[in-house]
Structure 1
Amino acid sequence: MFVIIILLAICAGLGFGSHELTKSTGDSGSKVLNLYNWGDYIDPALLSKFEKQTGYHVNVETFDSNEAMYTKIKQGGTSYDLTVPSDYMVQKMKADHLLIPLDKSKLTGMQNYGAAFMNKSFDPGNRYSIPYFWGTLGIIYNDQFIKSGELTHWNQLWRSKYRNDIMLIDSARDVMGLSLISQGHSVNTTNTRELVAAKDKLNRLSPNVKAVVADEIKMYMAEGEAPIAVDWSGEASEMMSQNSHLHYVVPTEGSNMWFDNLVIPKTAKHFKAIYAFLNFMNRPENAAQNANYIGYATPNMAAYKRLPKAVREDKQFYPSQQVINRLEVYQNLSAKKVQQYNDLYLEFKMHH
């Protein structure tokens, strides 16, 4: 869990702020909006601004994975008005009839979004989703131990000199994905032979892996506990803000490009509040404020233009179009294939 394009399409992402929003639930009255979001994934000052401008009170509840969010909405018994699934989860929720289509006649500011972030394969025509943030998976290194330019390819992680040096984000699709890419395969492959080969190659990475961790990776890297990590761009941004020796690289042969999106789950009740909030977040000044707070890449081009020049021109987070062309979005795989990815990943972790 753990900021966007330049003109035609330059992209890549960054990380979370340090505030914790108050967790609250309830939907009493009609002047409320129930937002189900990742932890610390919106500037609290923006919520206050929205409440002051509109009179709606925002209740925020948080989740820590797409799957946890999906399960809670599928089970029912909740009254969330908006939630924030990633690309493949939008596809899954749509297929399982858990989303309400957007009423485009009630939306304003949609022209602010870059073409590169709209009409993606997981939601053609943006019938159900509005892009919120986006980012990449890459390598973070500490220049006190690793020379600049030394790590630009996934395959280099297997070098024997990196024994016990690498921290991996605890994510089956991401870790299996980097191994698949290193062998020239798609991160969405359903070929069993390719998947087994990716796991076998990960087993050979084990001597270099110091730990497979989740959120703690940020603290370890910020404190110089390991020279190398594999993590999401947003997490990298937060680490780098705490340690000037850290740098982020998207391997040139390709990686994952992910999108988080605002959607209306079937549990929604407060539609006036929903559209007021979506239109509020579409406004360039608000999207820019949110991107500055969160640190991830914003798909709102009008907001992007308002970001500091140093942020807009940072190639660590805004790779060239050449790199972007080699990024892949995760597709929603069958339950059987998801289980296969998870089982093979678990075998690697046990081997490690």
Structure 2
Amino acid sequence: MNKYLCSFALSALVLAACGKKEEAPAAVAAPAPVASAPAAPANTEEKVLNIYNWPDYIPEGMVAAFEKETGIKVNYDTFETNEALHAKLVAGNTGYDLVVPGTVFAKPQIEGGLLQPLDKSKLKNLGNLDPALLATMTKADPDNKHLVPWAWSFTTVGVNKTKVEKALGGMPMPENAWDLVFNPKYTAKLKSCGIAYLDSPTEILPAALHYIGKDAYSNSNDDYKEAAGMLAKVRKDVRLFSSTMIDDIAGGKACAVVGWAGDINIAANRAKENGSKDVIEALLPSTGALIFIDSIAMPKDAKHPNNAHAFIDFYLRPENAAQIANEMNYNTGNKAAVDKIKPEIAGNKSIFVETEYFGKMIPPSSFSNEAREAMANAYNAFKKGK
């Protein structure tokens, strides 16, 4: 997509068939027996695959289609935050063959040996992925050995525009959408219709740091103290720390949120399906939003690696990757899927970000262990109102 984040020009694949001219048989002695090529090793794993993913993050029918094609039974569990997944990986003996960490967490997971390298020879559809996105992911996964992109989006401000405008009265919307959730001038008014934050320190503190002009992925304790001071000023106005953001927005529990653009778009569609006429949208703050990339990876203790590779390759088919955008409102890094994406989805600037705005956005990075501790302390104190 020439106007969007990555160049998704599709290459033509030319297949040439070659034949052998038939000749009259010569009167020669019978040839010596030729050893046949060794057969590919059979998949002797039990027909089971255990997946651990985020809620509302897989197209309807994809698991059933994989099971029907392969005969592999999929056990599918969900987690709410990167912190929850990370704790399970650190504890070991996860019981899962595939997990979907954000790249912010994947870097220390790779460095700590919690994820195992993928066998690229088993991923024939790997070439469908966009090189630009893979290059971005090398910050977390050098040489792209461990991760395959599942979907990407960004952390931003979402609003029920109908309710927000009513709550603000005659006050105009701010130029910078982050003001709606971080500036007491606006939060004091919006608390009447509900402000919700994602219940995760690694989602809220980077956004808060960015808002006060600091590095969103700072490793400075002083920066976290300053961000905590800013957050303390709006604590009384925050209604929810949400792990069910889609339902909270669609169900009217919150009119302004710090959330994921993909989930905000899902909530907008769900609200319409439920008969609501309110306008729900993911905003593009003037100072930029925070990009995240979620990736498929194999835990070090995966017991069904062949089945895991089979599922990844199944997902990398263009028609399957396109469903992430068409059904889930998340961007896909699969360049071969572009022509299968609905025009109204491809034209949504909060899904496929235009190049001019992308320059303002904050790419994912990672934190030191000390920064994670400082972040957790700041977040817990903020959440408790201390």
Counterparts of 1:1-352 in structure 2, within 5 Å, are 6-7=1-2, 9-10=4-5, 30-119=46-135, 120=137, 121-146=139-164, 150-153=173-176, 154-155=178-179, 157=181, 158=183, 160-165=185-190, 166-207=195-236, 209-241=237-269, 242=271, 243=276, 244-351=278-385
Q: 1:88 to 1:238 in 2, by over 3 A?
A: same
Deviation (angstroms), 1:249: 0.6
Report Cα offsets for 1:289-313 as digits up to 9, x if no partner. Answer: 3443333221112223211100000
Deviation (angstroms), 1:60: 2.0
CA contact (8 A) 1:187 1:330 kept: no
Of stretches 179-188 and 146-155 in structure 1, the one that deviates more from structure 2 is 146-155
CA contact (8 A) 1:222 1:239 kept: yes
> As a proportion of its length, which structure holds more strand?
1
Q: Report 1 or 2 for greater relative contact order, CA contacts < 8 Å, sequence distance ≥ 6.
A: 1
Letter in 1 for 2:318: P
Alpha-carbon distance in 2 for matches of 1:145, 1:46: 35
Alpha-carbon distance in 2 for matches of 1:195, 1:216: 26
Identical columns (%): 28
Alpha-carbon distance in 2 for matches of 1:223, 1:61: 24
Q: 1:183 to 1:303 in 2, by over 3 A?
A: same
Q: 1:316 to 1:8 in 2, by over 3 A?
A: closer
Report Cα offsets for 1:77-133 as digits up to 9, x if no partner. Answer: 344221111102211211111121112222112222223311321112211100001
Report Cα offsets for 1:205-234 as digits up to 9, x if no partner. Answer: 335x23132134434432444432221112
CA contact (8 A) 1:152 1:250 kept: no
SS at 1:239's partner residue?
helix
CA contact (8 A) 2:180 2:187 kept: no
Alpha-carbon distance in 1 for matches of 2:378, 2:280: 31
Deviation (angstroms), 1:134: 0.8
SS at 1:88's partner residue?
helix
Task: Tell me the TM-score normalised to structure 1 length.
Answer: 0.85
Deviation (angstroms), 1:41: 2.4
SS at 1:304's partner residue?
helix
Alpha-carbon distance in 2 for matches of 1:71, 1:146: 37
Pair member with larger Rg: 2
Alpha-carbon distance in 1 for matches of 2:2, 2:324: 21
Alpha-carbon distance in 2 for matches of 1:41, 1:218: 11
CA contact (8 A) 1:170 1:214 kept: yes
Please list every run of 5 or more consecutive structure 2 residues that lacks an aligned counterpart in the other structure: 7-43, 166-170
CA contact (8 A) 2:329 2:351 kept: no
Letter in 1 for 2:280: L
Letter in 2 for 1:43: P
Please list every run of 5 or more consecutive structure 1 residues that lacks an aligned counterpart in the other structure: 1-5, 12-27
CA contact (8 A) 1:106 1:275 kept: yes
SS at 1:36's partner residue?
strand
